[in-house]
Structure 1
Amino acid sequence: MWLKALHLIFMVTWFAGLFYLPRLFVYHALADDTISRERFKVMERKLYWGITTPGMLLTLLFGIWMLADYAWASYGHGGWLHAKLALLALLVAYHVQCGRWLNDFRHDRNRHGHVYYRWMNEVPVLFLIAIVLLAVLKPF
């Protein structure tokens, strides 16, 4: 149960960062002065590298550990786990894309407006709902 608890703790940490980072991008895209833009760069960098990425890595570590210990043997042939792992791969891709947006902002190359980031801010919610439902209900 310790593995599951740690997995969930770091999953919450990861999602907290994924919920807040695109919101920072919204405000950054709206910023019209140098001081604000520089402040957002610092906030985004610290959130991405100090909270969100370690949360992702530890979530993956404890999830893989659970797979190796018991889940794959018990549930490895269930479709729910394959679906969850596929969604997880897409979520990691979203995380990497957030890093690309961060890099664009860092180099003052942002190509999107605040409305785009408002929509992108909703993406992790959809992943969270789907992944939690799959893990708890194990529907297939």
Structure 2
Amino acid sequence: MEYILALHIIFIVTWFSGMFYIVRLFIYNTEAGEKEETEKQILRKQFTIMMKRLWYIITLPSAILTLIFGPLVWYTYYNFSLPQWLAIKLVFVFLLYVYFITLHIIFKQQVKGVFKFTSQQLRIWNEISTIFLIAIVMLAVVKQGISVVWGLIGLVLFIVVLMSAVKIYKLLRKN
């Protein structure tokens, strides 16, 4: 039983690592567009190779394996029962997969040379996975010990602090 849980956690960690890093590559690839033509071509070629390797070798397989081991953990430990904390967690997990699909769309666009988002927009988008990580881990670890209301208040406060940090970083980059 513990092996299933361990594998689930391992693939969650590698999946999140891939999601965190792929958006950084999106940002660097986007910013490469501001370089001289020769440098831009070299950078974009290299970033495309890195993105493909990261996506197809680590991130996508980890997302699939997380999706396989998640229900196994759910069955093994909870026999598919659905306590309130787990129902809320599963909503966040579903939204995380929606976010993951948006990353796949951006990935496919950038590989084709289509850049629809600024680096600043991508920096903000990168923080979404952090929000999901915190919400899901808190629900998984604290379980019934967390009040839904206080949990949501804490999450909203965290989002405000996180987005403020992104804005401050933008101001510091300009100077």
TM-score normalised per structure 2: 0.75
Q: Which string of whole-angstrom CA distances, capped at 9 and with x for unpartnered residues, describes residues 79-115 of structure 1?
A: 1111111111111111111110011111111111110
Aligned equivalent of 1:109, options 100, 109, 114: 114
Q: What is the letter of the counterpart of residue 89 of structure 1?
A: F
| 1:70 shift after superposition | 3.1
1:62 aligns with 2:69: yes
The residue type equivalent to 1:34 in the other structure is Q
Q: Which runs of 5+ in 2 are unaligned?
A: 148-175
RMSD: 1.2
Q: Which residue of 2 aligns with 1:34?
A: 41
Q: Which has the larger radius of gyration?
A: 2
Aligned with residue 87 of structure 2, among 82, 98, 105:
82
Correspondence 1:1-140 to 2 at 5 A: 1-31=2-32, 32=35, 33-73=40-80, 76-139=81-144
Gaps of 5+ in 1: none
Shift of 1:72: 3.6
Instruction: Give me the whole-angstrom Cα distance separating, in 2, the residues matched to 1:128 and 1:9.
Output: 14
SS in 1 for 2:11: helix
1:45 shift after superposition: 1.2
Aligned length: 138
Q: Identity of aligned pairs, percent?
A: 37
Tell me the TM-score normalised to structure 1 length.
0.93
Separation (CA, whole Å) in 2 of partners of 1:77 and 1:55: 24
Distance change (3 Å), C-alpha of 1:72 and 1:82: farther
What is the SS of the residue equivalent to 2:121?
Answer: helix
SS of alignment partner, residue 115 of structure 2: coil
Shift of 1:66: 1.5
